[in-house]
Amino acid sequence: MKLLVSWLRDFVDLRQPVAEVASTLSMCGFEVAGIEADEVIDFEITANRPDCLSVAGLAREAATAFDVPLRLPWADPAGHSVTSGARAVPTPSRIDGERISVSIEAPDLCPRYAAALAEVTIGPSPDWLAARLTAAGVRPINNVVDVTNYVLLEIGHPLHAFDLERLDGRRLCARRARPGERIRTLDGEARALDPEMLVIADGSSAQAVAGVMGGAASEVWSGTRVIALESAYFKPASVRRTSKRLGLKSEASTRFERGTDINVPVVALERACSLLERIGAGRPVGAPIDVYPAPRGPVDLTLRRERIDWLLGVGVDDGEVARILTGLGFAVTGVPGGWRVSVPTRRVDVLREADLIEEVARHFGYDKVPSHFPPLRAVAPRPDPRMARKALVRHVLAAAGFSEAVSWTFIDAADAAPFAGPGEAPVPLAYPLSEKFAVLRPSLLPGLVDGVAHNRRHQIRDVRLFEVGASFSAAEGERHRVAFALTGAGVMEHWGGGMRPADFFDAVGVVERLGEALALPLRFADSTASCLVPGRAAAVSVGETTVGAVGLLVPAESERRGLPGGDEIFVAELDLDAIDRLAPIADTEVRALPRFPSIVRDISVVIDERLRSQQVRETIQRVAPATLVGMREFDRYKGQGIPEGRYSLSLRLTFRASDRTLTDADVQEAMERIMAALATEHGAIQR
């Protein structure tokens, strides 16, 4: 809202410079976006204050803020129109040979419709009026349209002028649009209407989209002789819906959809007619017609004195409370313990006591409210363990060399598809911002692949990224996950040598490290995940529950996302929600330290190359005595001396008893049992 300060001074006797007017009003809640030419203040008016989308509304605020009287050249409508507007029946009217009939068919969408007729001579506006409009950011068009815009800016009430002679049957009717009805609006667009939209129609067709924009067919033009001026009240929700559906916004719709003053339409008509006369553009014909079947008066609220202090933490002097509210146009009567406050209908935002306290606080000054630290009466609840787990995961991965990424929650459908669960489609948005942001990510991996590609494009070879966040599926809703991507060096380049590229087991090592940090006994098995290369992909599980996967990203996918063909991208993703359910965080219970020495034995077996070491380990575990306390693969060999289709696997086994020193014989017996089981179950041959 651009406010010309000299216009404001018509209504309030302010000597303060423009900058001070701006800063004072800004401290009352009217944000200043800018000051132009030291005469126009551009305010950002919040959605709750449509009454201040006008010079009069801001004048009322300024008068209260500077404690000076407000002088409006029209009667305040709050008090009088309840009685004067009570004409319940649609009234066909004939005035000086011109007549118009006005009716409301949809009183739920249009509770009040007033109109006035005026004989006019279309021409340019006088300079002073054109200059005021221009300063306020409105382009002058002709004297009649300019007067409607002038009243819109001054009082905040939208008017619309029809060319009376272009209205079929000289009638105006507020009704719902008919199915299939169309209208060409003033901007030249043909628009399809639907029966939930309110239109202003003449005898045959819609002539305006009510509260949004007039129609081209009855537009005022250079030959217009008589105008019908509309001044109505439309239901905010209806105007908002229509404006959204048509994708059409106007100065009028902005005000109607936030709520105009239902008691101001006749005042606005009278103001417009007097302006037309003053600038020699025309003269009113007869008195306005006003269809207002169910007049509404001001609402009375009670403001309790003690509630001001109760809510603000500071008391406000009684006289100051009354001065502020009266200045803002509320009628205030003292009652025991406080005030009865009558709220004018233009204040659509004031509905209950707290709203009145805000009015008092705004003009009392937020800076005068003291600063106080609220007492803490109880210990804060313990933190959510699931969030603590996420923090731990972040730190483990950062310590493993991974930097934290944050990528988009909505992604391209094509990028998402390979990462959706089997038989699942990603969740689409109804109206995405663009194709790039079309579906909710089914996995964090597409975003990480983008992150890797971005860094590779900037000559960074070694990329380690991770992300913790939510992914989505139609069946399961929101799932929290952690994922990482790794490419480039497995061991970093060093002058002492030892550099090597990352491989599958670097990625597995990171997953194992996470498992250890989260105290999860992870198991790995071959995976058939569609985004991973078979044979270099593992499903990760805890017990019977799959919690994620790790492996080499399929090259087609990395190439499609702009990564160089030769790059190997290793990725992993774990489902934190599944892990939360499997492993509630519990305090550690410490085992006593061993008191007896351990015995270490190595075993090397030649086995079928299709056999997984996991199976070997499980067999050993099953037949070994409880004194087997450790087991680790330390060599895997294939080649000379090993038959085709087989490989040699070496494991180091550690035995220890908690109650005695083991003897060689104890361990020997265990080793024989283990070897026998491996031989019978897996055809293993000791090497």
3-state DSSP call for residue 487? Answer: strand
Other CB atoms within 10 A of residue 137 CB:
14
From 190, 378, 586, 626, residue interacting with another protein (rule: CB under 8 A): 378
Quick one: 113 or 466, whose CB is closer to another protein?
466
Quick one: 273 or 465, whose CB is closer to another protein?
465
Quick one: 207 or 260, whose CB is closer to another protein?
260
Q: Are 605 and 684 in contact (CB under 8 A)?
A: yes
Q: Minimum Å distance from CB 423 to another protein?
A: 16
3-state DSSP call for residue 176? Answer: strand
Contacts of 667 (CB under 8 A, 6+ apart): 599, 601, 627, 655
Per-residue tokens: 10: 């018509």
Separation CA 126–CA 120 (nearest Å): 15
Q: Which stretch binds another protein (CB under 8 A): 107-115, 199-207, 290-298, 376-384?
A: 376-384
Residue type (1 letter), 678? L
Quick one: 132 or 258, whose CB is closer to another protein?
258
Q: Is the dihedral of CA 270, 276, 277, 278 positive or negative?
A: positive
Q: Which stretch binds another protein (CB under 8 A): 176-184, 324-332, 397-405, 590-598?
A: 397-405
Quick one: 163 or 557, whose CB is closer to another protein?
557
Contacts of 90 (CB under 8 A, 6+ apart): 101, 102, 103, 104, 291
CA distances from 352 to 102, 236, 299, 318 (A): 36, 20, 10, 19
Separation CA 570–CA 573 (nearest Å): 11
Quick one: 186 or 470, whose CB is closer to another protein?
470
- β-pairing verdict for 171-176 and 98-104: parallel
Q: Minimum Å distance from CB 441 to another protein?
A: 11
From 186, 279, 287, 311, residue interacting with another protein (rule: CB under 8 A): 311
Q: Cα 497 to the chain's mean position, in Å?
A: 51
Among positions 172-231, residues that touch another protein (CB under 8 A) are none
Considering the rule CB under 8 A, would residue 362 count as an interface residue with another protein? yes
Quick one: 73 or 365, whose CB is closer to another protein?
365
Separation CA 631–CA 620 (nearest Å): 9
3-state DSSP call for residue 532? Answer: strand
Considering the rule CB under 8 A, would residue 405 count as an interface residue with another protein? yes
Q: Is 211 exposed, middle or buried (0-12, 13-18, 19+ CB in 10 A)?
A: buried
3-state DSSP call for residue 422? Answer: coil
Q: Minimum Å distance from CB 467 to another protein?
A: 8
Residue type (1 letter), 471? S
Q: Which stretch binds another protein (CB under 8 A): 127-135, 199-207, 310-318, 566-574?
A: 310-318
- Which stretch of DSSP H or E encloses residue 478? strand 477-487
Considering the rule CB under 8 A, would residue 19 count as an interface residue with another protein? no
Q: Is the dihedral of CA 491, 493, 496, 501 positive or negative?
A: positive
Among positions 485-504, residues that touch another protein (CB under 8 A) are 492, 494-496, 498
Among positions 232-271, residues that touch another protein (CB under 8 A) are 236-237, 240-241, 257-258
Q: Which stretch binds another protein (CB under 8 A): 74-82, 129-137, 274-282, 304-312?
A: 304-312
Angle ∠(231,237,240) on CA atoms, nearest 5: 80
From 386, 652, 673, 687, residue interacting with another protein (rule: CB under 8 A): 386
Quick one: 29 or 548, whose CB is closer to another protein?
29
Q: Minimum Å distance from CB 33 to another protein?
A: 9
3-state DSSP call for residue 161? Answer: strand
From 131, 331, 400, 629, residue interacting with another protein (rule: CB under 8 A): 400
Q: Minimum Å distance from CB 465 to another protein?
A: 6
User: Euclidean distance between the first and final Cα of the chain, in Å?
Assistant: 89
Q: Which stretch binds another protein (CB under 8 A): 157-165, 179-187, 379-387, 541-549?
A: 379-387
Q: Which stretch binds another protein (CB under 8 A): 25-33, 109-117, 264-272, 286-294?
A: 25-33
Q: Which stretch binds another protein (CB under 8 A): 176-184, 374-382, 565-573, 590-598?
A: 374-382
From 46, 326, 333, 658, residue interacting with another protein (rule: CB under 8 A): 46
How many residues sit close enough to another protein to count as binding (CB under 8 A)? 101
Considering the rule CB under 8 A, would residue 519 count as an interface residue with another protein? no
Among positions 417-476, residues that touch another protein (CB under 8 A) are 427-433, 437, 440, 447-448, 450-451, 454-455, 458, 460, 462-466, 469-470, 472-476
Separation CA 87–CA 112 (nearest Å): 10
Q: Which stretch binds another protein (CB under 8 A): 112-120, 169-177, 265-273, 305-313?
A: 305-313
- Of the CA atoms within 13 Å of residue 407, those in its CB half-sphere come to 31
Separation CA 687–CA 649 (nearest Å): 9
Secondary structure of 534-557 as H, E, C letters: EEEEEEEEECCEEEEEEEEECHHH
Q: Which stretch binds another protein (CB under 8 A): 278-286, 372-380, 512-520, 586-594?
A: 372-380
From 83, 89, 317, 367, residue interacting with another protein (rule: CB under 8 A): 367
**Contacts with another protein, 549-588, as mask; x by CB under 8 A:** ----------------------------x-----------
Other CB atoms within 10 A of residue 498 CB:
9
Quick one: 468 or 540, whose CB is closer to another protein?
468
